[in-house]
Amino acid sequence: MEKEDKKGVDIEKELTYKKRNFFEASDEKKIGKAYEYGEDYKKFLDASKTEREAVATSVKYAEKNGFKPYVFGEKLKAGDKKYYNNRDKSLVLFVVGSENISEGGIRLIASHIDSPRLDLKQNPLYEDGGMAFFKTHYYGGVKKYQWTAIPLALHGAVVLSDGRKIDVKIGDEDGDPVFYVNDLLPHLSREQYQKTLAQAIDGETLNVLCGGLPFKDDDVKDKVKLTVLKKLNEKYGMKEEDFLSAELCAVPAFNARDIGFDGALIAGYGHDDKVCSYPALTAICGLDKPVHTAMVVLADKEEIGSEGNTGMQCGVYEDIIDEICETLGAKPSVVRMNSKCLSADVTAGFDPNFASVYEKKNASIISCGTTICKYTGSGGKGGSNDASAEFIGFIRKLFAEKDIVWQTSELGKVDAGGGGTVAKFVAKLNIDTVDLGVPVISMHAPYEVISKGDLYSTFEACAAFLG
Ligand code: MN
Ligand code: MN
């Protein structure tokens, strides 16, 4: 028998798996880079509160990095950097690689740029009790009580009767007014306190306060409303009827800031999913003459099921893949079969304040790196993509080679709830797909929290995958 001279602790180190914390596993230089990257990300986030704004900021960033608009049918060659702006609400970027696309396929990262918010209804404006309000219809999975009594900004677009499109953005700059959803004072909340959290704030009470000055004319019926209309007319040339062809959103007015004393964490509106879109965008923009053909999709409408012609279920993304294949003389079905996709979306970071809904061994821990979710869904993995061991094995090897700090996670305890991403819509195209992204604390709240370590390792993961 051979002599065993290894100590138990050495064998333990060799055989057992332990998550790594990004800040513990990285040297000062890398941590410095992560902090710097976080500063640029905060600027991107503040400028991209709606999908329209995210498209505009991303196009600007892409053009600065040599990307040109793509026209359907145009001839492509290796090294070409193109973007396709889909109706100002979703964006596709791609770089043609040097290898044979039939063999190498496409390296795709799909993320989304829409975030939960309050949308104005088509007939929003009314007055009551000396105040003017906008009626709203919430967009995405919001906890309604979180949207009361906080400063809101108004963002969006209005198409006027003559067809002109006006961009609206008011509430974010110093000196701008903000908007507001009223809440009930505690003194009169005895009945409200008896309701469940889900019922305490009714959807029809999420009315946005937008004025309080009566128009000075006793013959006018709704005086406060008229003052608001007059101001809107002066500022934007709008009449009340123009709301019918408008997309106006109430979004949190506050900007992204570091949380706490050490700068490790960032609070912001819309981390879900700009915290993955930004790494995908910066990774593809950093490519120079790549081997693989790389593509990034920044999709709209994920928060309402990826529907519509700007959501991930729209055929435009497949059409672009088909067009690329055609101009390069490749068969789309073969290219898709050999393609690989990271569905880049956030996951629920373990929160010790609500530990009971997490299974800690399989939860993502803040700052332990970018997170792979083999499956999402609910109940018995219902509605989930459930990536293969082979594909995760491929990703794992890639990340090990680049020393990327990463972890795996489930959304929460087995039967605690659930959720989905765009992964299954990409996988449907016969593309190997897995979810990867940043753990978020207070997901879908007006102010969410992430770690700069997780943000940066997600960027590293995207860059390694595309490059
Ligand atoms: Mn998401
Ligand atoms: Mn979401």
Expressed in angstroms and rounded, the spacing between residue 418 Cα and the centre of ligand 1 is: 12
Tokens at 51, concatenated = 């999908």
Q: Where are the beta strands (DSSP E) in 1-79?
A: 68-69
Expressed in angstroms and rounded, the spacing between residue 16 Cα and the centre of ligand 1 is: 32
How many structural domains compose the chain? 2
Expressed in angstroms and rounded, the spacing between residue 438 Cα and the centre of ligand 1 is: 10
Shared domain check, 124 and 247? yes
Expressed in angstroms and rounded, the spacing between residue 279 Cα and the centre of ligand 2 is: 17
Shared domain check, 233 and 330? no
Expressed in angstroms and rounded, the spacing between residue 98 Cα and the centre of ligand 1 is: 32
pLDDT of residue 45: 98
Shared domain check, 68 and 122? no
Shared domain check, 125 and 111? no
- How far apart are alpha carbons 126 and 142 in whole angstroms? 24
Expressed in angstroms and rounded, the spacing between residue 444 Cα and the centre of ligand 2 is: 6
3-state SS, residue 329: coil
In a domain, 165, yes or no: yes
Look up the CATH number of the domain holding residue 343. Answer: 3.40.630.10
Ligand nearest to the CA of 421: 1
Ligand nearest to the CA of 140: 2
In a domain, 209, yes or no: yes
User: Which tens digit of pLDDT belongs to each residue from 207-234?
Assistant: 999 999 999 999 999 999 999 999 999 9
Expressed in angstroms and rounded, the spacing between residue 439 Cα and the centre of ligand 1 is: 11
In a domain, 422, yes or no: yes
In a domain, 415, yes or no: yes
Confidence of residue 3 (pLDDT cuts 50, 70, 90): low
Shared domain check, 293 and 215? no
For the sheet with 131-139, list strands across it.
165-170, 152-159, 246-252, 117-128, 131-139, 208-211, 180-181
In a domain, 371, yes or no: yes
pLDDT of residue 5: 80
Domain boundary among 223, 252, 281: 252
Domain boundary among 194, 223, 252: 252
In a domain, 58, yes or no: yes
Shared domain check, 123 and 106? no
Range of weakest confidence among 3-17, 84-98, 198-212, 232-246: 3-17
- How far apart are alpha carbons 199 and 196 in whole angstroms? 5
Where does residue 283 rank: exposed (0-12), middle (13-18), buried (19+ CB within 10 A)?
Answer: buried
- How far apart are alpha carbons 70 and 165 in whole angstroms? 23
Ligand nearest to the CA of 139: 2
Look up the CATH number of the domain holding residue 218. Answer: 2.30.250.10
In a domain, 303, yes or no: yes
Ligand nearest to the CA of 116: 2
Shared domain check, 129 and 66? no
The pLDDT > 70 percentage for the chain reads 99
Expressed in angstroms and rounded, the spacing between residue 159 Cα and the centre of ligand 2 is: 28
For residue 197, pLDDT over 60 is answered with yes
Expressed in angstroms and rounded, the spacing between residue 334 Cα and the centre of ligand 2 is: 32
Shared domain check, 108 and 132? no
- How far apart are alpha carbons 366 and 354 in whole angstroms? 14
Shared domain check, 125 and 97? no
Shared domain check, 431 and 303? yes
User: Which tens digit of pLDDT belongs to each residue from 425-465?
Assistant: 999 999 999 999 999 999 999 999 999 999 999 999 999 99
- How far apart are alpha carbons 462 and 467 in whole angstroms? 8
Expressed in angstroms and rounded, the spacing between residue 191 Cα and the centre of ligand 1 is: 35
Q: What is the mean pLDDT of the chain?
A: 97
Return the number of other C-beta atoms located less than 10 Å from residue 139's C-beta: 18
Ligand nearest to the CA of 276: 1
Ligand nearest to the CA of 347: 1
For residue 271, pLDDT over 80 is answered with yes
In a domain, 395, yes or no: yes
First to last CA, the chain: 48
Local structure of residue 314 (DSSP, 8 states): S
Expressed in angstroms and rounded, the spacing between residue 127 Cα and the centre of ligand 1 is: 35
Shared domain check, 452 and 315? yes
Expressed in angstroms and rounded, the spacing between residue 273 Cα and the centre of ligand 2 is: 7
Expressed in angstroms and rounded, the spacing between residue 138 Cα and the centre of ligand 2 is: 13
Expressed in angstroms and rounded, the spacing between residue 46 Cα and the centre of ligand 1 is: 18
For residue 1, pLDDT over 80 is answered with no
Confidence of residue 2 (pLDDT cuts 50, 70, 90): low
pLDDT of residue 6: 87
Shared domain check, 425 and 313? yes
Domain residue limits at 453: 11-115+269-466
Expressed in angstroms and rounded, the spacing between residue 421 Cα and the centre of ligand 1 is: 6
User: Which tens digit of pLDDT belongs to each residue from 274-317?
Assistant: 999 999 999 999 999 999 999 999 999 999 999 999 999 999 99
